[in-house]
Structure 1
Amino acid sequence: MFNLTSEQMERLKAIHTTQEVHQQPTVWKEVVGVFSKQKESYRQFLEAIYGKHEQVRVIFTGAGTSAFAGDTLAPILRKLGPEQVVFDSIATTDIVSNPEEYLDKKTPTILVSFARSGNSPESVAAVSLGENMIEHFYQVIVTCNKDGQLAKNVKGDANSLLILTPSRPTIKALR
């Protein structure tokens, strides 16, 4: 795909995907830098929650391709994470379409939302359902859009953590 001209990629409707793939190595290096600088505050946030509850459920969620992040993390963390924590990956579309099946009122839950724009209706709705249905609800928003609805909703919320990842403008040309 990187051997194609911008015009060829436009014609194939592949320009946005190609741009995203092309920038990933740089973006992920920056993400590691962001996490390294903030890891102590992230650790304190999680340990405070773990200290309040005997069992905690972490649900990784997202809309579309953002759901794949949780699909990748959950199996690894099930093996490596603390015993008191249950890790699941559930797409926002599943949560929104059948919340009673996926959200348990009595189980303290951290909803980790992966959301590039932070504006997808199903991501916003999944968070709203969690807030309304779960007694002890916490959230972590991972987004590159500080102005997205999910980021705006957690400002000043002590039960929430916002992780801003690097934002990239659209690449005009790859060559």
Structure 2
Amino acid sequence: MTTVPETSDLPAVPTGATHTDREIRQQPRVWGDMLDHLHARRPALDAFLAPLLAEPALRVVLTGAGTSAYAGGIARSVLAAALGRTVDAVATTDIVADPGGCFEETERPTLLVSFARSGNSPESSAATELADQVLDRCAHLVITCNAQGALAVRHHARPDSFVLLTPPEAEDQGFAMTSSLTSMLLAALGALGHRKVRGLDACRRAAADVLSDESVRRVTDLTRRDLDRFVYLGSGPLKALAGESALKLLELTGGAVSSLADSSLGFRHGPKAFLTPRTGAIVYVSNDPYTRRYDLDIFDELTAALPAGQVVAIAGRPDGLPAADTWLVPAMADADDAALALPAVVYAQLVALHASLALGITPDNPFPDGEVNRVVRGVTIHPFPQS
């Protein structure tokens, strides 16, 4: 894994970014550990999943809050194709607020897949409890970074639950989720899309390249511009990646840089009003030949609308894109978009980190006054009436 030497022209990482910088850079190694762990748990996991996947009517619901919810959005379509079952991505925050609306088909067998870094957010456990209350049959696959978290402890001994842990290092100590997101996403793609998701084997090599000095210099060239807002766009699974990228920038800059995410087609329907001459734009370009056309269209449109150098394409292959404004993700030209998202999000993490540093903010704790917390506080879980 390549490190950034302090002797280069790149900014040295101050103490306030120690956790975040390390957790971004550790991802290729942690992903290898995640895959090894997944291989070791494969027999037990398959034994748990087999009777569930034998149900033709099974509904799989991918859930989490914030960044963890975006993990489900990225994985949803490729897992639906791999499993041949209905797969939905529904945030825990939606389930807790409206369990009846999220689980309308109460008799349908359901596998609730919960993503949680700590497992201690109030909505994490509440969503699983509400699913058990509302649904006639619900099993749980808990993917978490914290073996001691409330969610893991609640489910570890249940016969209708399977707890899949990431490597301990993936429980990020920095404010924002970086390696926790990617490790849990990799776990879900490997666990449920076993051998059917293209590109997973190349992710570690691709991420190591994204972390190279050359790539980081391109990122810092962008974040050193006088930009006060960013828009992230993508289609299909990459729309959810755009949402996570915008969130990461908003979090690590403490809200000092405004960010917006949308689909490549949806952006024109009003959200385009977000653009100013000081806007940076990043377009995730799909590997799917059909979807890719729409991403290229909006990239060209933004390139014509904004000052030179402020629009970037992040793509697995270069066709149809100008080299000067394209950040390639190597070895991912034939990957499914959900797999492409794993190394591609590392670019977004680096943008957020270096935008924060450029503003003199401490990324490990961008909200020193505690107005936003690493683990959500202040949520009251109200009892849901029995039907």
- Please confirm whether the aligned pair reaches a TM-score higher than 0.5, indicating the same fold: yes
Deviations 1:33-61 (A, max 9, x none): 1111111221111112233x341111111
Contact 1:113–1:139 (CA under 8 A) maintained in structure 2: yes
- Aligned counterpart, 2:293: none
Describe the SS at the equivalent of 1:20.
Answer: helix
Change beyond 3 A, Cα 1:131–1:63? same
* Counterpart residue type for residue 167 of structure 1: P
- Aligned counterpart, 1:91: 91
Contact 1:19–1:170 (CA under 8 A) maintained in structure 2: no
- Aligned counterpart, 1:39: 42
Structure 1, 103-112 or 19-28: larger mean CA deviation: 19-28
Change beyond 3 A, Cα 1:15–1:62? farther
Describe the SS at the equivalent of 1:117.
Answer: coil
Q: Which residue among 42, 60, 63 is the counterpart of 2:62?
A: 60
Query: C-alpha separation between the residues in 1 aligned to 2:90 and 2:69?
Result: 7
Q: Which runs of 5+ in 1 are unaligned?
A: none
- Aligned counterpart, 2:269: none
Describe the SS at the equivalent of 2:23.
Answer: helix
Describe the SS at the equivalent of 1:147.
Answer: coil
Q: CA deviation at 1:19?
A: 3.3
Q: CA deviation at 1:15?
A: 4.9
Q: Which residue among 77, 82, 92 is the counterpart of 1:80?
A: 82
* Counterpart residue type for residue 63 of structure 1: A
Q: CA deviation at 1:170?
A: 4.7
- Aligned counterpart, 1:20: 23
- Aligned counterpart, 1:162: 163
Describe the SS at the equivalent of 1:66.
Answer: helix
Query: C-alpha separation between the residues in 2 aligned to 1:152 and 1:146?
Result: 7
Query: C-alpha separation between the residues in 2 aligned to 1:124 and 1:15?
Result: 31
* Counterpart residue type for residue 74 of structure 1: R
Query: C-alpha separation between the residues in 1 aligned to 2:30 and 2:70?
Result: 17
Contact 1:61–1:114 (CA under 8 A) maintained in structure 2: yes
Count the aligned residue pairs: 163
- Bigger Rg, structure 1 or 2: 2
Whether 1:70 and 2:99 are equivalent positions in the alignment is no
Whether 1:121 and 2:122 are equivalent positions in the alignment is yes
Change beyond 3 A, Cα 1:155–1:24? same
Query: C-alpha separation between the residues in 1 aligned to 2:68 and 2:29?
Result: 18
Describe the SS at the equivalent of 1:118.
Answer: coil
Q: Which runs of 5+ in 2 are unaligned?
A: 5-9, 175-387
Change beyond 3 A, Cα 1:89–1:107? same
Query: C-alpha separation between the residues in 2 aligned to 1:164 and 1:21?
Result: 19
Superposition pairs for residues 117-156 of structure 1, below 5 Å?
A: 117-156=118-157
Query: C-alpha separation between the residues in 2 aligned to 1:148 and 1:165?
Result: 13
* Counterpart residue type for residue 100 of structure 2: E
Query: C-alpha separation between the residues in 1 aligned to 2:69 and 2:165?
Result: 17
Query: C-alpha separation between the residues in 1 aligned to 2:108 and 2:22?
Result: 40
Contact 1:131–1:137 (CA under 8 A) maintained in structure 2: yes
Query: C-alpha separation between the residues in 2 aligned to 1:19 and 1:43?
Result: 33
Describe the SS at the equivalent of 2:162.
Answer: strand
Whether 1:29 and 2:32 are equivalent positions in the alignment is yes
Instruction: Compute the TM-score of the two structures, normalised by the length of structure 2.
Output: 0.40
